[in-house]
């Protein structure tokens, strides 16, 4: 968005306001989301970034037109679909991912954080420091 892109984001309905506040056009994820995004992107979809890894790569490829226009950070079966899995750490680290993270961090430092505070985990608490 900072470079002029139109961004369509999928999220739960209660997160649509947050997406819109970031400048994205929100729609609900789940069944039919590809159709909804296609309608919203009347001129087509140039690129897709998958951040969920929910097995939706075939739908995302159809939406973008080819696997080389889809990148995932979450679907470990990306290669099975000809999609690039980008990693910023660990085996198979992707230098472009590091460049992208640097650019994203610079943009984020100039804007309010889009991250919401989540309640503490119900499964336990962190021990208190005693020193």
- Chain segment 6-26, per-residue pLDDT in tens: 888 888 899 999 889 888 899
pLDDT of amino acid 110: 62
Joined together, the tokens standing for residue 106 give 């610079």
Are residues 37 and 69 part of one domain?
no
**Residue 123 binned pLDDT confidence (cut-offs 50, 70, 90):** very low
Domain of 80 in residue numbering reads as 55-109
- For the whole model, what pTM was predicted? 0.67
- Chain segment 42-67, per-residue pLDDT in tens: 888 888 888 888 888 998 999 999 99
- Chain segment 100-121, per-residue pLDDT in tens: 667 766 766 665 444 444 444 4
128 falls within a domain: no
Are residues 38 and 8 part of one domain?
yes
Domain count, the chain: 2
pLDDT of amino acid 58: 92
**Residue 40 binned pLDDT confidence (cut-offs 50, 70, 90):** very high
Strand residue runs (E) in 22-128: 25-28, 48-50, 70-72, 84-85
Burial of 57 (0-12, 13-18, 19+ CB in 10 A): buried
95 falls within a domain: yes
């Amino acid at each position: 968005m900072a470079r002029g892109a139109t961004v369509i984001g999928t999220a739960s309905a209660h997160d649509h306001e947050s997406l819109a506040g970031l400048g994205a056009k929100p729609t609900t994820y789940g069944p039919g989301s590809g159709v909804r995004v296609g309608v919203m992107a009347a001129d087509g979809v140039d690129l897709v970034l998958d951040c969920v890894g929910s097995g939706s790569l075939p739908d995302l490829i159809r939406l973008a037109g080819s696997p080389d226009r889809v990148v995932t950070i979450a679907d470990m079966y990306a290669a099975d679909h000809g999609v690039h899995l980008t990693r910023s750490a660990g085996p198979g680290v992707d230098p472009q991912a590091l460049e992208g993270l640097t650019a994203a961090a610079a943009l984020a430092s100039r804007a309010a954080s889009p991250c919401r505070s989540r309640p503490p985990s119900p499964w336990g608490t962190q021990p208190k420091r005693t020193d």
